[in-house]
Chain A
Amino acid sequence: MSTASSDPIDWQREVKAGIEEMKAFSRRGFFTLVGLVAFTVANLAAAVLSLRFILPNVTYDESLLFKAGPPSDYPIGSTTIFSDKRVALNRDVDGFYAISLICTHLGCTPRWFQSDSMFRCPCHGSRYLRDGVRFYGPAPRPMDVVKVGLAPDGTLFVDRSKIVARTDRQAV
């Protein structure tokens, strides 16, 4: 317990006096106000531009779109892993679809296990079916399905920047 020390400054009175002075709108009060406002505005501006400076306008990430070769490379029922691109390309009877291999829990890369026909995340053990639907572990939702398209030259491309409906298929 701290002992009550004698505070020589009566803050309540000081603040009241300050407010009174502002009300009276003396020259000193006016310049105090101008000073405080300018100080606050300058600091806010500095804070905003510092924060904005930290967020880059251009990044050096690689393109989210990549080509995946001719459709004939992929047999029906196959799952192909592009580990560098973090994408799984599935081909079913009704066409192609791609799964973005970014775990919906905390962003690690789930790994494909052909023998069990499922993805397992090495970080916290989430498991997904072949179509990216989560069935076990901490992940809150299925992995995103991203756009597969057919380029004019007849080859497939995957665009990771476009998330599509789970039922979307690229027929060939």
Chain B
Amino acid sequence: MAQTTTSPRDELLQKYPIFLRPAVLMVILTIEISVQIWKSVFRHGLPLTDKIATRTALTNYWLHAHPPRIRKSHMKFSYTFCLGGISFFLFVLLTITGLFLMFYYVPSVQYAYQNMKDLQYAVSFGIVMRNLHRWSAHAMVITVWLHMCRVFYTGSYKPPREFNWGIGVTLLLMTLLLSFTGYLLPWDQLSLWAVTVGTNMAKYAPIAGPQTRFGMLGSYTVGNATILRFYVVHVLGLPLLASIAMMVHFWRVRKDGFSGNL
């Protein structure tokens, strides 16, 4: 079969001596496959120009969670104070430090307090992990509240963003519940009585008050069953639900855009 046209690849290969061509072909194929993989992930070619780089960023949720189009006035730091972003950062930090703490912590009346003290005095950098977790938790409660205030004061809860406000309130509730369940885990006097008081408040709920308390404690008094329950909810249940709610929350921010000027 007569070859009338040559591909750019063939033209390139012609420039090299015949014994080098297999190696050159390997290099070319490697580059072509790499670019193909890059394109499959980022939708556009290598970001060699500003235009491609911008397009790559704007069409990628991971690189640009915010809406691609936004008013200039809302780019100002003082519009959002980065409160949602800070809250999310703290959530990630809490997840990572919490994961580290789990390596040394056993949720039982017998070990919990001792493990917490071990983290402070017997584990290298244990006190850093524990205090990062503790202070981030306090900070997250504050930033989530402030985030809600900011959204209220800028009127960002109004249509078409009512649903995302609802998701946000759910996330605030989950933050508070995470804070409450985590508070029991060091198993000191403060933990014990805070949870005694907290679950007694639940007892005042109408219809199923005492049953709610019994279900929370897994017993009639704060004890081993309670510490295990709170642990499971703290490290698995609530973070999972909060992560799902956060995915929806962030996606809706991107889709609904930022609210208008006041």
Contacts and interface: CB of A to CB of B under 8 A. Distances in A.
B219 A54 contact: no
Interface string B207-246: 0000100110011110111000000000000000000000
Given A59-B225, A60-B224, A60-B225, A107 B219 contact: no
Nearest to B214: A55
Interface string B108-140: 000000000000000000000000000000000
Interface stretch (B96-104, B170-178, B195-203): B195-203
Given A55-B214, A60-B225, A123 B220 contact: no
B215 A54 contact: yes
B159 interface: yes
B159 A2 contact: yes
Contacts of B197: 106-108, 123
A24 interface: no
A61 interface: yes
B160 interface: yes
B16 interface: no
B260 to A, nearest CB: 9
Interface string A52-78: 001110011100000000000000000
**SS class of chain A's interface: helix, strand, loop or mixed?**
loop
B68 to A, nearest CB: 19
A106 B201 contact: yes
Contact of B160 (A2, A51, A59, A60): A2
A1 interface: yes
A139 to B, nearest CB: 12
Nearest to A56: B218
Contacts of A105: 200
B152 interface: no
Contacts of B223: 60-61
Interface in A37-53: 51
Interface of A: 1-2, 51, 54-56, 59-61, 105-108, 122-123
Interface of B: 159-160, 193, 196-197, 199-201, 211, 214-215, 218-221, 223-225
Given A55-B214, A107-B200, 12 more contacts: A1-B159, A54-B215, A54-B218, A56-B225, A59-B219, A61-B219, A61-B221, A106-B200, A108-B193, A108-B196, A108-B197, A123-B197
Query: Closest 3 CB pairs between A and B?
Result: A107-B200, A106-B200, A2-B160
